A and B are shown apart, each in its own frame.
Chain A
Amino acid sequence: DSGVTQTPKHLITATGQRVTLRCSPRSGDLSVYWYQQSLDQGLQFLIHYYNGEERAKGNILERFSAQQFPDLHSELNLSSLELGDSALYFCASSPRPTDMNTEAFFGQGTRLTVV
């Protein structure tokens, strides 16, 4: 157990819908990262938050948005869902300040299926 909690574990929804994925980082971790992993694909970096502020953006679609709350949990919002958005979405957290790169601990992921 990495200490990073993601909910829900599985989510099935229809095209055009909106969903929210939730991530609780390890206790004390200030950084939260979101990744998308499509079938047989690598890990695509979406976005990074540190202590409530957006720090870096990857190839995140405009239909996707995220935020990190004062209690440090984060939510990834996916809207106007398309079949191609079906993927495993991982959240990861790390403890260090932004100027010190360090290991990221991954949650178990949320498997999103868009039908």
Chain B
Amino acid sequence: GENVEQHPSTLSVQEGDSAVIKCTYSDSASNYFPWYKQELGKRPQLIIDIRSNVGEKKDQRIAVTLNKTAKHFSLHITETQPEDSAVYFCAATGGYQKVTFGIGTKLQVIP
């Protein structure tokens, strides 16, 4: 089955700096890669996603890159702000819509 590895597990950055979270997946059939943000005590919410036919996608301060050959994808947050502090999950969706999540990255943005 699919295996998604995510790192780092924790990340502290100064406000205004960039943050990068990386994920690798094992199933070459996976073709949809969403990123979710989960604030403390709240439900995960999609922040950006990318499909396997696209190499990069950007939405304001957030971007995601996908390298299908290497089976890894990354989340990039630029000009970080304190409200970016949360746990971020990557996920890979492959055959039969089986969704596999990474373990999560706890991002702390220090004012």
Task: List A residues at the B interface (Cβ < 8 Å).
Answer: 2, 31, 33, 35, 41-45, 48, 50, 55-58, 90, 98, 101-109
**Chain B residues whose C-beta falls within 8 Å of the C-beta of A31 in the assembled complex:** 97
Residues of B within 8 A of A35 (CB): 101
- B96 A56 Cβ-Cβ under 8 A: yes
Q: Do B104 and A2 have beta carbons less than 8 Å apart?
A: no
Beta-carbon contact of B43 and A108 below 8 Å: yes
Q: How far is the CB of A56 from chain B (nearest CB, A)?
A: 4
B78 on interface, CB distance cutoff 8 Å: no
Is the CB–CB distance between A42 and B96 below 8 Å? no
Interface range, B side: 20 to 34
C-alpha gap A41/B91 in the complex (Å): 15
Is B28 an interface residue, CB under 8 A from the partner? no
Cβ-neighbour of A45 out of B31, B45, B98 (below 8 A): B98
Given A42-B103, A42-B104, A103-B49, A98 contacting B43 (CB threshold 8 A): no
User: When the two chains form the complex, which single residue of A45, A90, A102 contacts B100, counting CB atoms closer than 8 Å?
Assistant: A45
- Find out whether the CB atom of B89 lies under 8 angstroms from the CB atom of A101: no
> Which of A43, A56, A98, A106 counts the most chain B CB atoms within 10 A?
A43
- Bound CA span A31–B45, Å: 17
